[in-house]
Structure formats: C-alpha cells, structure tokens
Structure 1
Amino acid sequence: MHPRLASMLKQLLSPPVLEDQEQNHTASQLWTVVMIMTVMSVLYLVVWLIIAPDKSIRVLLALPLFPVYGVVLHLIRNGRVGLASSLLVGGIWITLIVAATASGGVLAPGYGGLVIAVLAAGIFMGQNWALVVASLSVVAGAVLVYLDRLGLMAAASRYTDAITMWIAQSVFFFIASILLQMAVHRISGALQRAEQEIDERRKTEGRLREAEKRYRDLVEHVPAVIYTAEAGAEGKWYYISPRIESLTGFTPDEWMSDQLLWYSRIHPDDREAAIENEKLAVLEKRQYQTEYRFMRKDGSIIWIRDESLNIPEDTDRDQNIVQGILLDITARKQVEEKLQSNESLLTAIIENIPFDFWANDLDDRYILQNSVSRKLAGLLIGKTVDDLNVPAELREIYKEKHLRALRGETIREEVEYQRDGEKAYALNIHAPIWNNGNINGLIGMTIDMTEQRKAQEALKDAELLYRTIVEETSVVLYRDAAEEGGPSIFISPQIENMIGYSVEEWSQSPTLWQSLVHPDDLKYVLNAIHTVITMQENNISEYRFKSKKGDWIWVRDEAVPVKDENGKLLYVQGVYLNITKQKQVEEQREALIRELESKNSELERFTYTVSHDLKAPLVTMSGFLGYLEEDALRGNMERLRHDINRIMEANLKMQRLLNELLELSRVGRLMNVPEVVPFGQIVQEALSRVEGRVSAKHIQVLVGEDLPAVYGDRIRLTEVVQNLLDNAAKFMGTQTEPRIEVGVETVRGETVFFIRDNGIGIDPKYHKKVFDLFDKLNPSMEGTGVGLALVKRIIEVHGGKIWIESEPGQGTTFHFTLPDGPN
C-alpha cells in the first residue's frame, strides 16, 4: 500500500486525542465501540445475505445505522463526546425498535437487542440514562404488545426462526461482551488508579458499589415485576423483584416461601384460564401472555398482565423455567370498562332518541339505526339508499344529500308534507362524521316539527297580541321588584311617549322613577308601594312625574301584586295611564267653579251696590221734582233753577255710573285683538290722557327705561295705567314735591310692573277693599268707585294679578303682572 495512503487511513481510523484525560478515555472507548459495531454490522449483513438470502430484504433495517456511525465518529473527533454517546444510543434504540416493529414485536430479535442500547447508555451516559432507555424500551415493548393484542402486528413466526435468532443474538452477544469488557476495563482502570493511594482506592470502590447498585436498581425498579419461576400452578419461584410488594402487598420473601401463593391469589373466575394459557404457551414454545384479576394482600382486586418466555434449562430436567414480567393494568381495565359502559350508554341513548336516527359508512351503507328508524323503514343495516322502498325520484334526492354530507357539508332543511289530510312538517338533517380531521361516514335524522311549528305559530300570535297590548296602546305597562322602593324590572316602550325617557334610560337606573316623582307626591307613592308589598292587595294611586322636558305629567298608577302558586310575592305589575288632560280639565272645572262662585259673590255685591248707588240719584231727582213743583207754583225762579241743577247733577251722576258699569261688564266679554306692544308706549298714551290733572298739581312723573313689551288688549291696558296714574294724582295730598314713578322689577324670577307715588297712602286694612266695586275710602272725593275694580278686572282677564304696598303718609305702590306673549 502506498505509504501516504496508509498514513491517511491510519489517521482516519485512529481515535482523536482530547485534552481532558477522562473525556479522552471515554472518547477512545466510544470510538472503539463504534468501529467494532460498524464491522459487526457489515458482517451481520454479509452473513445474513449468505445464510438467509430469501430474507435479504431485512438487511435494509440495519442500513440506517451506518450514517449514525459516521456522524458519531465526526462528533467524537470534534470533542463532542456526550452528544456522540446520545446519538449512538438513540440510533441503536430507534433502529432496533423499528426492526422489532417490522418483525413481530417483542418476540422479534430486535427487541431483545435493546439491552445493547441500555448497556451503552449505562457505560457512556450514566445510570440515569440507562434507566431512561430501559424504561423507554419497556414502554415501547408494552405498545408493541398492545398492538399485537389488537391484531395490528404481524406474527413473529413470519420473520423469526432459529437462524434469524442465532445471527441476531450472536451480534448482540458479541457487542454486549465488548461493552461489558469496556465496563470491566473502566473499572479495572479505576482500581489501578486507586492503588496509588488508599483514599482514592476507597472512592473507586465506592463508585464501583454505586455502579453495581445502579445495575441492580435497573433490574429491580423497572415499572414491572420481573420474575423467574417454574411453569405451572405449583412451580417453584426462583426470583421475584422487590416491586412485587408494591404491586401485591406481599414481600419477595413471602412470595418465595409459598409455592402456591401466586395460584391461590388469582381470581377464581380467571385461575384455570391463566394456567391453561401458560401450558399451551410452554407446549408451543411461544410467549405467554394473559390478563387476570389478582387479590392483593389487603383483599383488593387488581388486574395483572403476565408475559413470560420459556428459558431453556438443563436438558435432564423435566420442569420448564419461565422468565417474565407482571404489569399492573388495573387503570387500563378500568378505562376499558368505562369505555364499554359508555358504549352501552351511547347505544341506549341512540335507541331511545324519539325520532328517526341512522348512520352510514363511507360506502353509503347503513351501519346504525335506532328503533324509530327500524319502525319507519325496516331493517337497513348493510343496505344502501337503492334498497329503500321509496319512489325513484326520492331515492335520487337521498343519494344527492348523502353525497354532499360525505363531502363535508351539513344539510338542514325543513319539509312540508300531508299527513292524514293535514299539513305536517319535518326537519331533515344530514351531517358528516368527522374523526381526526377525516370523514368516516355520515349521520342523518328526521325530526317531526309539526307540534313545534304549531307552537311557533301560537307564539307568533301571542307576540302579535303582546305587541298590540304593550306597544300599540297608550298605556305604559311595568313590572317592579317585590321590595321597598320598587326597582324597575320592565317598562313598555310607551314610557318614552309619556314622559320622554327611553326604555334603555329607564333600565339603566332601576330607581330613576323615584327621582321623577313630584316631591309633594313621593311619600304618598312610597306608602302605596309599601301597602301593595305588605298587604299584597291591588292599589290605585295618582301622582305626578317630571318629564324629560321639565313638564309635570299626571299618571294613574294601577298596581297588582303577582304571586306564585305558594302565595309568595314574585313582583308588582301594573300600568301607568296619562291623566294629565283629565287633571287639567278637573283643574279648569275647579277654576271655573271658583270663578263662578266669585262672580256670583261679585254679582251679589254688584246687585246690592247698584241697587243702593243707583237708588241715591233717583231719590235725589224724585225729591227735587217735588221741590220743583212747589217752587214753580210759588214763582221762586232762583229756587226753581237750583232744583233743576240738582236734578241734572243727579242725572249726570247716574249716567256716568251706568257708563262705568257698562264698561266694567264688557271687560272679559268684548276684547280687542291682543298684540305685543312695548309697555313704554302704553305708559305714554296713558300720561297724555291725564296730563291735565298731572300738570295742574305739578306732579313729576318718572318713567323707567327699557320697559319690556307686553301681550294683550292695548286699549284696555292703557285704561289700567290711566286709572292708576289718575288715582295716584287724585290722592297726592299736600305734597310739596309730588312724584309718580312707573317702572319694572324682577321678583323671584317674575317680571313685575309698578306705579309708585308719594301721596297720602292707604291703611293696610283697606288694601283689598279698594278694588271692590263702588268702594270709596273718601266719599267726598270725586269718582264713582269703579276705577280700581275695572283695573283689577282687566289685569285678571289678561292672566295677571295686582296688589298694593302702602302705609298711611308713605305713599302707595301698585304692583301688577302682565303676560309677555300668547303663552
């Protein structure tokens, strides 16, 4: 060979040299193992192809190991020994699991080779990883056994024979011996290094004991009980792992000392079957697998899965030795029982569905029917739509719907048909059966909707009636909680038309209504609610609500307590009726009655006054007519003229009195067209009419600025101011600086006009009397006593009021109000 090529090959095959001594030692051993495993794998393939050429396809299962070997060597050369160890163990484990899966499960040679992965993990990765790999191997074996039990695994006999086992086990034995040699070599190296110093030797011995313990723990603490025993009910037990105590409650010593313990604790119903299965497995030289119930030491029952293999012993012994594991499968059995119970429950549920229910597979064959379906269509299991006894066109419709459902569509449609001469309705539903994202078939159901449709139509009629009652009537329906204060639960939409607040506003604040009740009515309303709740009697009350616009709305509240069948009060229900117009009519009626009473009283006074005051001029004229006749007969012309003047004065007084009474009677009956007129213009017109008297008495008249406009009969309002000015001038007295003021002021938000003088004043006890008809405080003063009565009448007809503030010698102020517009 060429020297250069030989050098390169030597360098390629030689392990790397690392700085850390321990890591370098591990890397060297790992390198050696990989090289040996590579050679053994090649030899395995070659021997296999030579000895079993008919099974050459199986060599493919070992090919993935070679890339793994290459990557592991590359990682070792780069100093990543830990990762290389993990990759090697993982690659071996996965390859053997795949081989076992493809070759019959745990009975395949590959599954037994997992001990190589466990040993390699223990040597190169430590005891924890060895335990992890061992646990994964056991779990994987359990999965393979479970799959085999489900019939999903091919029989091991298809792939395994004596030659197969010999080849595989030879490889495993050789590799295992190498790994054990390496383990021994590592221990020997440690012992040699320990000889240098006694303390170091003790530490090494401690590590050795720890290593031995790890291996022992690996065997004794796997999640299963490992045993070795003679086959049969009375077979001798050679070994049982400590986990038997946690599994059954019996210690290993108790188990080993009683040859019949195992057989006696098997559940009586399972005992003979377990023994018979074991005999058959031994005779057929196959793996023994069975499940049975076992009575623990405390009397409780658990389920055990027992798996064992017949171990070849001395040929001169008749007894068969088996080695196996005991697994606690109680939880799995409980789940299976639960699943079985659920399946029975599901079957019962389907059978008791009160409408037609069925299911089809992907070939659109019926696989499930409930009792209603069988009654309507007969037994359909295994049949297709083509077998249905229905018209051909209906079968095509069914096929089309089934096909749509199998494509993933859910179909819901209501159909109408005739039944016994009447309309009937049914809801047909077709839906796909989804399982893990795949469609496995379809389900269908037909539900009689006739009664539901009738109920819906009745509900629509009831809703229409409700809307008519609640939404179309003018009354407001409400429901309040059965508690003091009556928080609102429901209010009909008419509340917005009544007081301006929407249902939403009312609902957001359940006690809103209390804030809207007139303060004068609130106590009365709360007492009424208290009566309804405590006495549980109907109640009718009338009170005022403040609308959103600020107006006061009169309502009639008719409340009814609603109770359950036990007499317990549920809520208070009632109606609000808007009686504002009714109240206004009542108030107008009361006002008219009061006005009529006032007018009757005034008429009585008027009649008395007129009869008294008009009688005086007549008496005067009657008396002086008698004097006139006497004086005419005597020829006394001077007396005659005096009598005639007195008669004429009495006649003029009566005429003026009658004119003023006529004017007073016209106020309120005959009105000029009302208009908006500045009050200042009215004052100026009135001043022009009394200018003579005012000038004669040298009275100073002060008229305020910015007098507002008023609304009314301009002529009548001018008469009011004229009379008040004339009255002020008339009773000015002997003032050296007579003065009259006309102005306006605001009193409690209301516009009040005033005419103030500094005249003689009026005693307070006469403040109301001055407005009475023909009442003159000073009979000697000119006038008829009608003027102020006329003023009061005109102002009241305009909706205003008039009053006096005065003291004797302090002047007089007439206050009065007038409207500023039509309202």
Structure 2
Amino acid sequence: MDKEEVIEKKEIKELLELNEELENYFRNTIIPQLFIDANLVLRKFSPPANMHFKLTKEDIGKSTHDIPSLANLPGLIDSIKEVISSNEDIEKEIQTNDKRWFQMNLLPYIIRKQNITNGAVITFVDITERIVDKQVIEKINADHETFIYSVSHDFRGPLTNLVLLIDLLKAAINKKDKEETKLLLETMYRSAQSMVTIINELTDLAKNGIDPQDKPEEVSIEQILESVKFTLKNQIFQSHAKITTNFEVKTLLFSRKNLRSIMYNLLSNAIKFTAEEKTPEICIRTDKLEEYTLLSVEDNGVGIEPEKQKDIFAIFERLKPHIEGTGVGLFIVDKMVKNQGGRIEVNSKLGEGTTFTIYLKNEY
C-alpha cells in the first residue's frame, strides 16, 4: 500500500468518525437544528426539528426548495446563501405559518482542511412567548401613554379657564360688582362640571379600556348590551333613547372586556350626538358573513360631515367641539377591533344619522 492510499484511508476514517459524531449530536440535541449543504440539500435534522417542521427521513437528500415546510420559512434560503458566501454567522427572528416566532441562528459549516464552507447549521429557538410578552408590554405602555396624554390634554382647557375666571372674579369682588360676580361664579361652576364630565369619561375608558391579554371567547352580545345599558341608564333615561336590536348572530368570538368597551363607546356616542329636538333612536344588529360577523350600531343623530369621516378614528379627534368628550373613544374602539384582526367602517349623512359597522373575524 503506497503512501497516498494510506493518507486517503486515514482521511476516510476521519470523515466517518466526524460523521458519526455529527449524527450523535443531531440525534441527541433537544434543539431544532438542520444541516443544509452548499447545494441547499438537507443532510441532517434533529428530532425536535422533525416535530416543528414535519420532516421525515425521506426529506434527507432533497433540495430545500422541494421541502414546503423549509421553503416557506421566511428568509431561510437567502440566509443560507449569505452564510456560505460570507463565512459569517447570521441571527434573525422569523415567524412561521402557524404564527410561532423563532430566533434563527445560522453558522457556516466549514471543512477546515480544504478551507471551504460546505453548508450551514441552522438552530431554531422558540421565542413565541417572549415576543407575545413584548407585544403585550408595548400595548400596555402605548395605552398608558394614550391615557396620560388624554388626561393632560383634556384638563388643560378647563383649568386654564378656571385660572382666568378666578382672576376676573377677584377684580369683580374688588369692584363690588354683584352681577358680574354672580355671572363669573356660574361660569366657574360650568367649567368645574366640565372637568367632572371629563374625569367620569376618562374613568370609564380606564375601566373599560383595552386589555391586550384578553383572549377571544364566545360572548353573548345580548348580555354585553344589557351590561352597557345598565352603565348608561342615566343617559338613556334623560334622553328617552329608544334602543332596538336584531341579532342574527347571538354570540361573538371576541374579548369580553373589549367588546363591552366597544359597545359602551358606540352606544354612548349615539346618545350624545343626537340633535336636541330629537329622541335618540338606536338600532344594534349582527349579521353573519363567510369570514366575518358584522356588528352594527345605527343612530338618527346629527351625522358626520363627509370631510371628517376619514379622521374620526384619530386620537383626540372631536366630532363636535361644543360637546364634551375626551376624543379618544373611537380611537380606542378602532384599536381594539384591529388588534383582533377586524376592521370598522362608518356610513353617515349629515342631519340624518350614522352607522358604525364592525367586522369581527369568525376564526382566530
């Protein structure tokens, strides 16, 4: 046996030993891992990868392009090519079709003796809970910022008015002008009442606001409506509001707390934005479509100008400046609906009324 044959046999033995070590590693690791060669062919995968990506032994030797569960992973193939060409590690966060999040780490598989990169070893760490927690925290922070901004925004006007009125009252008292003193006191009382109204609305928004951790569940729309009507009983009594319902769908798949907040905001707005000479007439109905359930609230109120309809869901947008409010109600409604994959539409005619239609997904 010549020297070249000895070297060749030694190299083969080393490769077999290396391959056995690699096999043992992939067989025993508890982390989803793939070994894909420079030709984008799947060479090995760990048992957890089989569970996550539904791989079988028949997939070994196939091109990554021909394995749907891998071909559909966002950025996988391009990342492998980048690792092979650059010899540098890559780390990415990806979301799979089943809505799970993974941290994808790609390491170049280098054959040291030949100094070539012959593929990549890809590791997947499930970070779904971390991403969900992060999103929840971001939503909570955003809601808190919205609420704080709303408080400062809505109190600035009445407080400024009170300060000016107090200065005028001092002057009227010094002049011993009883009529002006009486008028200023009445104006101060109205300004203080305005602040009380704002406090009550903000308290209701805080109580019934967005809870990002609330999960969709089967909710009785009739029970939600009765709860909201009880909360608004004073407004309903004072306005003599007539509320009718037509529920083709009696249960909705939505967050109970958020659905109550949506109903509260839409119903209170329907009562609030009614012309003084009219009795509020409000119809609440549900309808079933293929992908969505429709929840609509129709009123005979003052209506919304066409040019304002596109802006009504913006934060602090007030439809009627002379009517007290926080300007965050419809913003929050829109946010709640979108957070659970739905959308809200408005159809309104000035002087005739408004219909808000909410599209709620039938499945999540």
What is the alpha-carbon distance in structure 2 between the residues aligned to residue 758 and residue 654 of structure 1?
A: 28
Task: State the 1:770 CA deviation.
Answer: 4.1
CA contact (8 A) 2:83 2:106 kept: no
Aligned equivalent of 2:90: 540
Aligned equivalent of 2:5: none
Does residue 498 in structure 1 map to residue 52 in structure 2?
yes
Give a deviation string over 1:25-67, Cα, whole Å, max 9, x none: xxxxxxxxxxxxxxxxxxxxxxxxxxxxxxxxxxxxxxxxxxx
Task: State the 1:700 CA deviation.
Answer: 6.4
Distance 1:514 1:741, change over 3 A: farther
The one-letter amino acid paired with 1:525 is L
Give a deviation string over 1:504-529, Cα, whole Å, max 9, x none: 253385547642247583xx433344
CA contact (8 A) 1:620 1:647 kept: yes
The one-letter amino acid paired with 2:77 is L
What is the alpha-carbon distance in structure 1 between the residues aligned to residue 277 and residue 186 of structure 2?
A: 34
Out of 193, 202, 226, the position equivalent to 1:652 is 193
Out of 35, 42, 52, the position equivalent to 1:488 is 42
The one-letter amino acid paired with 2:225 is V
Distance 1:612 1:814, change over 3 A: same
Aligned equivalent of 1:754: 296
CA contact (8 A) 2:270 2:301 kept: yes
What is the alpha-carbon distance in structure 1 between the residues aligned to residue 208 and residue 88 of structure 2?
A: 51
Aligned equivalent of 2:247: 704
Task: State the 1:737 CA deviation.
Answer: 10
Out of 325, 328, 350, the position equivalent to 1:789 is 328
Matched residue of 2:192: which SS?
helix
The one-letter amino acid paired with 2:78 is N
| Percent of aligned pairs sharing the same letter | 16
Task: State the 1:622 CA deviation.
Answer: 4.9
Distance 1:585 1:560, change over 3 A: same
Distance 1:668 1:568, change over 3 A: closer
Give a deviation string over 1:366-420, Cα, whole Å, max 9, x none: xxxxxxxxxxxxxxxxxxxxxxxxxxxxxxxxxxxxxxxxxxxxxxxxxxxxxxx
What is the alpha-carbon distance in structure 1 between the residues aligned to residue 333 and residue 65 of structure 2?
A: 45
CA contact (8 A) 1:525 1:543 kept: no
Give a deviation string over 1:473-525, Cα, whole Å, max 9, x none: 23344343442xx12232232312333x243253385547642247583xx43
Does residue 527 in structure 1 map to residue 78 in structure 2?
yes
The one-letter amino acid paired with 1:472 is N
Aligned equivalent of 1:613: 158
Does residue 726 in structure 1 map to residue 274 in structure 2?
no
What is the alpha-carbon distance in structure 2 between the residues aligned to residue 669 and residue 719 of structure 1?
A: 8
Distance 1:700 1:814, change over 3 A: same
What is the alpha-carbon distance in structure 2 between the residues aligned to residue 562 and residue 481 of structure 1?
A: 10
Matched residue of 1:474: which SS?
coil
TM-score by length of 1: 0.34
Larger Rg: 1
Aligned equivalent of 1:623: 168
Task: State the 1:713 CA deviation.
Answer: 5.3
CA contact (8 A) 1:553 1:578 kept: no
What is the alpha-carbon distance in structure 2 between the residues aligned to residue 611 and residue 506 of structure 1?
A: 66
Does residue 577 in structure 1 map to residue 123 in structure 2?
yes
Aligned equivalent of 2:9: none
CA contact (8 A) 1:620 1:650 kept: no
Task: State the 1:562 CA deviation.
Answer: 4.6
CA contact (8 A) 2:35 2:122 kept: no
Out of 23, 27, 30, the position equivalent to 1:474 is 30
Does residue 507 in structure 1 map to residue 60 in structure 2?
yes
Aligned equivalent of 2:7: none
Out of 738, 744, 754, the position equivalent to 2:286 is 744
Distance 1:745 1:558, change over 3 A: same
Give a deviation string over 1:152-200, Cα, whole Å, max 9, x none: xxxxxxxxxxxxxxxxxxxxxxxxxxxxxxxxxxxxxxxxxxxxxxxxx
Matched residue of 1:516: which SS?
helix
Aligned equivalent of 1:74: none
Aligned equivalent of 1:199: none
CA contact (8 A) 2:219 2:256 kept: no
What is the alpha-carbon distance in structure 1 between the residues aligned to residue 305 and residue 158 of structure 2?
A: 25
- Once the two structures are superposed, the pairs formed by residues 115-264 of structure 1 within 5 Å of their partners are none
Give a deviation string over 1:111-170, Cα, whole Å, max 9, x none: xxxxxxxxxxxxxxxxxxxxxxxxxxxxxxxxxxxxxxxxxxxxxxxxxxxxxxxxxxxx
Distance 1:608 1:552, change over 3 A: closer
Task: State the 1:600 CA deviation.
Answer: 4.3
Matched residue of 1:761: which SS?
coil
Task: State the 1:755 CA deviation.
Answer: 1.4
CA contact (8 A) 1:700 1:740 kept: yes
Task: State the 1:805 CA deviation.
Answer: 1.7
CA contact (8 A) 1:763 1:806 kept: no
| Greater fraction helix | 1
Distance 1:815 1:472, change over 3 A: farther
Task: State the 1:678 CA deviation.
Answer: 0.7
What is the alpha-carbon distance in structure 2 between the residues aligned to residue 589 and residue 760 of structure 1?
A: 42
Task: State the 1:680 CA deviation.
Answer: 1.6
CA contact (8 A) 1:543 1:554 kept: yes
Distance 1:565 1:813, change over 3 A: same
Task: State the 1:679 CA deviation.
Answer: 0.9
Matched residue of 2:328: which SS?
helix
CA contact (8 A) 1:540 1:558 kept: yes
Task: State the 1:701 CA deviation.
Answer: 3.0
Give a deviation string over 1:233-269, Cα, whole Å, max 9, x none: xxxxxxxxxxxxxxxxxxxxxxxxxxxxxxxxxxxxx
Aligned equivalent of 1:32: none
- Once the two structures are superposed, the pairs formed by residues 369-380 of structure 1 within 5 Å of their partners are none
Does residue 661 in structure 1 map to residue 202 in structure 2?
yes
Matched residue of 1:579: which SS?
strand
Distance 1:762 1:579, change over 3 A: farther
CA contact (8 A) 1:489 1:507 kept: yes
CA contact (8 A) 2:313 2:334 kept: no
What is the alpha-carbon distance in structure 2 between the residues aligned to residue 566 and residue 639 of structure 1?
A: 97
What is the alpha-carbon distance in structure 1 between the residues aligned to residue 115 and residue 184 of structure 2?
A: 97
The one-letter amino acid paired with 2:76 is V
What is the alpha-carbon distance in structure 1 between the residues aligned to residue 137 and residue 104 of structure 2?
A: 24
Give a deviation string over 1:70-100, Cα, whole Å, max 9, x none: xxxxxxxxxxxxxxxxxxxxxxxxxxxxxxx
Does residue 766 in structure 1 map to residue 320 in structure 2?
no
Matched residues, number: 342
Consecutive unaligned residues of structure 1, counting only runs of 5 or more, are: 1-454
What is the alpha-carbon distance in structure 2 between the residues aligned to residue 656 and residue 737 of structure 1?
A: 22
Distance 1:820 1:804, change over 3 A: closer
Matched residue of 1:478: which SS?
strand
Aligned equivalent of 1:170: none
Matched residue of 1:683: which SS?
helix
Distance 1:691 1:650, change over 3 A: closer
The one-letter amino acid paired with 1:657 is I
Distance 1:590 1:682, change over 3 A: closer
Matched residue of 1:779: which SS?
coil
What is the alpha-carbon distance in structure 2 between the residues aligned to residue 719 and residue 532 of structure 1?
A: 50
What is the alpha-carbon distance in structure 1 between the residues aligned to residue 203 and residue 270 of structure 2?
A: 24
The one-letter amino acid paired with 2:121 is V
Matched residue of 2:240: which SS?
helix
Distance 1:677 1:567, change over 3 A: closer
CA contact (8 A) 1:528 1:539 kept: no
Moved more, 738-747 or 590-599: 590-599
What is the alpha-carbon distance in structure 1 between the residues aligned to residue 361 and residue 284 of structure 2?
A: 18
Matched residue of 2:320: which SS?
coil
What is the alpha-carbon distance in structure 1 between the residues aligned to residue 79 and residue 360 of structure 2?
A: 41
What is the alpha-carbon distance in structure 1 between the residues aligned to residue 158 and residue 278 of structure 2?
A: 35
Matched residue of 1:558: which SS?
strand
The one-letter amino acid paired with 2:87 is E
